[in-house]
Structure 1
Amino acid sequence: MFHKEGYKIMIVTAILLIAINVLSYSLINTYWIKFAILIVTILLFLLVLQFFRNPKRATAINKETVVSPVDGKVVVIEEVHEKEYFKDKRLQVSIFMSPINVHVTRHPVGGKVKFSKYHPGKFLVAWHPKSSEENERTTVVVENEVTGEILYRQIAGAMAKRIVNYAKEGDEVVQGSDSGFIKFGSRVDVFMPLGTPLNVELNQKVKGGVTVIGKIQD
């Protein structure tokens, strides 16, 4: 299954690659060169297909847990001052996605969308310390009666040139459901209350909508 954000790109890519092969067969007489071009274009198309894959995930719905919003690797766990919404200290967990990861963003908690804002910006590498404040990004806050307000931020990377965010203020969302998409390499930061017990550690690989990254205690 593929994400709807990829349909247009996949169709355009297929047309371009087919055109390249038609031209190569018309203009090139050497068989092995034509065959090499065919193989390369097939591999390129397969790479595009794998990037836009959208596997079904069975999220164990639990209002006490915060699940990973994306596939990737945990690259940051630290207490930080969150400047945009909370304006106080929060526990930040950052997950980096390589181009080969699934790039669907999922709601880490269920509840009501309290805040959703897009910020244009730079395209620093996703692991750059200032990427969360200077890169193109979206900030979303979802609240329920158990976890309270949980903030997650999609951050574009050096390769990512478009962030798609479906969360709208006032929406009621389901934990693990589709929240958006980031194209071609990026990062997502999750901000939880200080003292939240974590189920992940640095460099751990996580799966969006499945891996529990923290559990809010009453």
Structure 2
Amino acid sequence: MRYAPGVRRFALPAFLAAIPLAVLAPPLSALSLLLGGFVLWFFRDPERTPSAPGVVSPADGRVSVVREEGEQVRIGVFMNVTDVHVNRAPFDGRVDRVTHRPGAHRPAFSKESERNERVDVDVSTPEGPAELSLIAGAFARRIHPYVEEGETLSRGCRIGHIDFGSRADVLLPPCYDSEDVTVEVGDGLRAGESVVARRDE
């Protein structure tokens, strides 16, 4: 099993603590082992393949936002604690800019999360400009983008992860409208696999 970067920082202390606790307090040792196992499970990074042509989801989770913003459509995906937290590129493109924006840590499914800490990735795609946003949640404290300005993205490739609870948004290129969106609020998605928008040529 592949894991997201940083897993050792959280899992290793839990596993190491279990050794002395096995002598001093066996129930706490078991709890420590369970905590380490949970961290490994949380940082899992399975392989994914797009299921069909179109824009794929940037995250595992449920659709929390579908709305028009000027000439573009935004789709937001809320990642619950049980979801894979590695994010993926919804389309092919080139990274124009990666911007970290400090902010609050409100629940990622709430309207107040618009002011949360985030990393915005501006992308030039064959269909026009787009944007990806990795948004921290109430418990998330670190966003880890994997991409830098000038890099080329392939649809479904890994672009980053967020520690412990979050949301990922995609602002579609202007050529997409609401009728091209194939999901609605509440739908369950898989990052890099589920199609969220498709244009009929």
State TM-score, norm by structure 1.
0.83
SS in 1 for 2:182: coil
> Does 1:113 pair with 2:102?
no
Matches within 5 A, 1:50-199: 50-59=41-50, 62=53, 65-80=54-69, 88-132=70-114, 134-145=115-126, 147-192=127-172, 193=174, 195-196=177-178, 197-199=180-182
RMSD, aligned α-carbons: 1.8
SS in 2 for 1:75: strand
Contact persistence 1:71–1:206 (CA under 8 A): yes
User: Distance in 1 between the 2:121 and 2:196 partners?
Assistant: 17
What letter corresponds to residue 121 of structure 2 in structure 1?
V
Contact persistence 2:18–2:28 (CA under 8 A): no
User: Distance in 1 between the 2:31 and 2:9 partners?
Assistant: 21
SS in 2 for 1:4: coil
User: Distance in 2 between the 1:148 and 1:105 partners?
Assistant: 21
State the structure with more CA Rg: 1
Match of 1:85? none
Show CA shifts across 1:152-185 (max 9, x none).
Answer: 1110001000000122111111111110010000
Contact persistence 2:100–2:118 (CA under 8 A): yes
Show CA shifts across 1:121-160 (max 9, x none).
Answer: 111111221312x211000122222x32221111000100
User: Distance in 2 between the 1:19 and 1:175 partners?
Assistant: 46
In structure 1, stretches of 5+ residues that fail to align are 25-33, 81-87
In structure 2, stretches of 5+ residues that fail to align are none
What letter corresponds to residue 14 of structure 1 in structure 2?
F
Contact persistence 1:163–1:182 (CA under 8 A): yes
SS in 1 for 2:111: coil
Higher mean Cα deviation, 95-104 or 135-144? Answer: 135-144
What letter corresponds to residue 83 of structure 2 in structure 1?
N
State TM-score, norm by structure 2.
0.89
